[in-house]
Structure formats: C-alpha cells, structure tokens
A and B are shown apart, each in its own frame.
Chain A
Amino acid sequence: MYGYAFALPSIALLFVLVIYPLFMTFLLSLYDVSLTSSRYLGWEAFNKLWNHKMLPLVFKNSIIWTLLVILFQFLLGLASALLLNQSFPGRTLLRGIVILPWVMPGVIAGMVWRLVYDPQLGLLNHYLRSLGIISQPLTWLSDPRWALYAVIFTAIWKGFPFSTLMYLAGLQTVPLDLLEASEIDGANPYQKFWYITLPVMRPIIVTTLLLTFIWTFNYFELIYVMTGGGPAERTHIFPTYVYDLAFKRFRFGDASRFAVLDFLFLLVFSLVYVKLSFRREESL
C-alpha cells in the first residue's frame, strides 16, 4: 500500500512533465507549424525529414562528436584514474584539481575556451606559434575545418573528470589479494591490468560509457555558446539544431521531427547496448 503512495508523486510528475510533452512533440512532428499557421502532414512528414538538407550533416556531426568525446573521455579517465590510484605525496591535491573542469558550469567552460582559442587574445595560438607548430594564428572556432574538433577538444576537457571519478571508485573494488596472488604466480603489471583489473571494473565501465554517451549526444550548451552551430551551420548536432529550428526560425514542426529522431536513435542505441552488455555478463 505504501508502495504506490510513496511512488505516486514521482510517477505523476513524470507523466505531466515528460511523457505528455514528449507525446505532444510526436504529435507536432506530424504538422507543418510556423508562428502563424499549422497544417497536418501525416506520413508526408517523414519525407520532409528524410529530405531535409541539414539531416546528413547534423547526423554525421552528432556521431563524430559523440564517438570522439566518449572515446577520449574513456582513455583519459582510465589513465588519470590509474595515476591517481598510485600513492604519492600530493595525490589528494591532484584529485581535487582534476575534477574542476567537470564542476565548472558548461556555459563558463565554453566562454573560457572561446578566450583560449581567440585568434588575437588567445594564448593557445601564441604558444603554438612560439613552439613553431603553426606560423599564422588559427581562427579555430570560425574555421570550418577546425571548429567541430575544437569544440570536441573542449568537451573532452570538460567531461573526462567524471570518468576519472567513476574509474577511480572502480579501482578500489579490485580485490588486493587477487592482485597479490597473480603477482606470486608471475604476472606482470600489464597482465594484471588486462586479466584482473579490467574484468572487475567492467560493470562500472559499461555504466559510465552509457551515461557519457547519452549526456554527450544531448549536450547543448557547449556548442551553442562556443560556435552557435557555425561557421555556416557546420557544427550543429541534434540538440543545437533542434533549438535553432524552434527558437530562431520558429519552424516548430521541423524542430519536433529532428527531436523525435534524436530520441528514437538514443532509445534504440541504449536498448541494444544494454541488451548486449547483459548478454556478455551472463556468458562470463
């Protein structure tokens, strides 16, 4: 009896605030809506989405952005967790320092990196020129070749400490006696890491990758603040383009279609991912 009573507020809020608006978005995606008019499209709506000239680019950017960001957050997170798991004087201080980017509000991280990348004021160009790596200052964020990768680099910097925290916690769950026993049996550090540490940490790695994937795929403010989707709409990913369509161009129908596709993609991906990682768990 308490079960329902206790759970009811969260379920009610979920329906009113999430499921109902989501349903409205689905409905809206079947219409052609502007500020002044609204026209029912039905199945034609799918053609409209499919033939939208920005769809291939937004999809490609979203994939490149997400894959590079979570790959490097994983590698950097694991490497820094292994380092911070060693005992050395100053470790506590370094642990405190490492989480700073993650704790910094996204809008501020975006503005700070705009300053770092700035062609005139930015120190990055200055240092790269001093080192002789580039001869002319690069306009990182307004150069179509570099802009997406510049934002990706910032996203890696901003988000990797979360992976560090998770993997550091995961490393503490590795049983010490197991490591000692393997050492007696003559395992080298590389083998210990590969055959003991990684398998024990697998559940945490699986969860962390899924969380960072979802967060990164839906990350709005960094790109919005740093490039606004530019130059020439080259750095839009799903959330920024949905926002752009809705609140800059007032094309609510198009915005809803992109939003629905974003949601369905994540849903299918996550279900497959969870299914695959559970199946492998059983066979272990």
Chain B
Amino acid sequence: MSKSQRTLYFVKIYFLAFVLATFVLFPIMVMVSMSLKAPDEQFTSPPYLVPKRPTLSNYLHVIGRGSMFLRYFLNSLLVAAASTVIVLAVALFSSYSYARLCFPGRDFFFILILLSQLFPLAAIIVSLYRIMSQLRMIDTYWSLIVAYLTFSVPVGVWLLRNFFLGIPKELEEAAMIDGCTRLMAFWKIVVPLMRPGLGATFAYLFFVTWQEFMFALTFITSEAKRTLPVGIFDYVGQYETNWGNLMAASSLICVPVFLLFLFVQQQLVGGLTRGAVKG
C-alpha cells in the first residue's frame, strides 16, 4: 500500500471504530452520568450527558447505612456461587462421559440435554412453582439454587464437553498403558488440563445466575432474601423513580461481571465455538 492509501485505510477504520464505540457506549455513559448527578442535575430540561458537579452521593447512599443493597449483593453471591459449584461438580463427570466414555444411550441422553435448552423457562415456571410450594421451598435460597440448575446443568455439560473434546485422547491412553485406572487417568491427567475450561465455564454460569430475574422475582417473597436483579426495583416507585440511586446500584452490579469476563473471554469463546466446529 502507498502512504496515501494507508492513511485512507486508517481513516476508514477509525471512523468505523468510533461509530461502533459510540453505539455501544452511549447507554453505558447515560448510566454512569446519571449515577454521578445530584438530584438537582437529574431532572433538568434539556438533559445533558456530562455532570457539571459530579458527586458520589448516590453511591454512598446505595452502600450506606439502612440500605439493603449489600444484603442483596450477598444473597446474589450466595445463590450464584452455590448453584454454580453444584453444576460444576455434576457436569464435570457427566460431560467427560459424554465426550469420552461409551455406554448405551449416550447419544440419546446427550441430545436430550441439548433439547432441554430449547424450552422456555416460562414453560416450567408454573409447574416448578407448584412443586416448590408443596415442598415448602418457596421463599428460601434453595428454591433459587435448585431452579437455576434447570438451565445451568445443560449449558455446563455442553460447554465442558466441548473443552474435553479439545484435550487429546492419547494422554489418557498413555497413562492407562502405564498402569493408571480410568478414574486415575481422569483425575490426575485430564482434570488438571481442564482448569482453564473449568474457569471459563464457572465464569459463564456465574454470570448467567448472577443476573437471573424471572425465578428470583417469583420464588422469593421476603425482602431479606431478594437478589440484586429484583432488589434494584426498590428504587423504582409507583409514581417516581430514584434514577440517581438506581443507576449507581446498576453500575455497581455491572463491575464484578465486567471484570470476570475480562479474564475468561478468550477461553469461553474457545469453548463456545469448538462445539460448532467439531459438533
């Protein structure tokens, strides 16, 4: 490329990059801007993006005394972590058997697991609600932890299976020739190699359960057990919404998942796409 061609190329690239970044960031800037505005700046006409006197008062109010935010945060953390750990424990073994072991009905059960991702959660929420009422599980953390297994077990099995398929079979076979049992080969050779895949799967499942809304809205009735996605509606009144506090809380909720994704993005995409290529 000549020099002027190169310049033109970069002008085009940066123009498109600017358009893309603006499209993506505009609502996020609206969120952060509102979270930094004091009440007198929130309701101006016309509205403006950059706060004239930015303040952290909304954040202090959200995490301050008498606020339920920290409680909701801990509830979310507990529910998401517990159900994710259970799913990983179950899916680690299952996905290995679907990826490597032979047993009659293997493909049937695997297809059943894939198919179960098809149904809308709305299709089982009515039945689940009735079952949980009968078991007196409504309004407990367990109701959410168990309900989240419905969608995270299939995803977990599918993702981990894709990561297993990326590990050469020969490694276990060599270990078994050297005298390892299948179980030892699995535990000592394959599982350590799966660490990045497990990390990515953990992050993805945590991310999905962290933001789950429908079950949390339906199964939890007492304020003290609410999780964040439902809890932020405390700031939405029937007639008036406290936009400053709401956007401060929203920004705080986004931070952990943004950070989590920064670390596992590469791994996760590898797991998601491998399924597409290798089937």
Q: Which among A20, A25, A80, A270 is the interface contact of B126 at CB below 8 angstroms?
A: A25
CA distance A122 to B90 in the complex (A): 46
Find out whether the CB atom of B119 lies under 8 angstroms from the CB atom of A86: no
Residues of A within 8 A of B123 (CB): 22, 25, 242, 256, 259-260, 262-263
Q: Between A and B, how many residue pairs show CB distances below 8 Å? A: 257
Contact B214 A6, beta carbon cutoff 8 Å? no
Expressed in whole angstroms, the Cα–Cα distance for A225 and B270 within the complex equals: 32
Set of chain B residues within 8 Å of A240, measured between Cβ atoms: 122
Chain B: number of interface residues, binned into ranges: 35 or more
B106 touches A246 (CB 8 A): no
Distance between Cα atoms of A24 and B90 in the complex (Å): 25
Q: Is A120 an interface residue (CB 8 A)?
A: yes
Nearest residue (CB) in B for A239 is B122
| A173 shortest CB reach to chain B, Å | 7
Could you tell me which residues of chain B, from 123 to 172, have a CB within 8 Å of some CB in chain A?
123-131, 146, 149-150, 153-154, 157
> B17 touching A115 by the CB < 8 A rule?
no
- In the assembled complex, the Cα of A206 lies from the Cα of B254 at a distance in Å of 30
Smallest CB–CB gap between B101 and chain A, Å? 4
In the complex formed, the residue of A with least CB distance to B254 is A104
B21 and A112 contact, CB distance less than 8 A: no
Residues of A within 8 A of B42 (CB): 121
For the complex, is B14 an interface residue (Cβ under 8 Å from A)?
yes
> Chain A 68-104, CB within 8 Å of chain B: the 1/0 string?
0000000000001001001010100010111111011
Q: A116 CB to closest chain B CB, in angstroms?
A: 5
Total chain A interface residues with beta-carbon distance under 8 A: 86
- Find chain B residues with CB under 8 A from A19 CB: 116
If A22-B119, A106-B213 touch, does A126 touch B276 (CB 8 Å cutoff)? no
Contacts of B210 in A (CB 8 A): 105
Report B's interface with A, CB cutoff 8 A: 10, 13-14, 16-17, 20-21, 23-28, 30-31, 34, 42-43, 45-49, 90-91, 93-94, 96-98, 101-103, 106, 109, 112-113, 115-131, 146, 149-150, 153-154, 157, 182-183, 207, 210-211, 213-214, 218, 228-229, 232, 236, 243, 246-247, 250, 253-254, 257-258, 261-262, 265, 269-270, 272-273, 275-277
Is A123's CB under 8 angstroms from B16's CB?
A: no
| A64 contacts chain B at the CB level, 8 A cutoff | no
User: Are B106 and A7 in touch, CB under 8 angstroms?
Assistant: yes
Which A residues are in CB contact (< 8 Å) with B128?
17, 21
Query: For the complex, is A14 an interface residue (Cβ under 8 Å from B)?
Result: yes
Contacts of A208 in B (CB 8 A): 276
Cβ A22 vs Cβ B127 within 8 A: yes
13 contacts between A and B (CB under 8 A): A2-B182, A3-B106, A11-B94, A28-B127, A108-B229, A112-B28, A115-B247, A121-B47, A166-B269, A169-B269, A239-B122, A242-B120, A242-B126
In addition to A22-B127, A101-B24, 9 A-B residue pairs with Cβ atoms within 8 Å of each other are A3-B106, A21-B124, A99-B265, A108-B31, A108-B253, A109-B27, A112-B27, A220-B213, A266-B120
Kindly list chain B residues whose C-beta atoms are within 8 Å of the C-beta of A206: 276
**In the complex, which of the residues A3, A115, A166, A225 contacts B102, with contact meaning CB atoms closer than 8 Å?**
A3
Given contacts A166-B272, A204-B276, contact A80 B122 (CB under 8 A): no
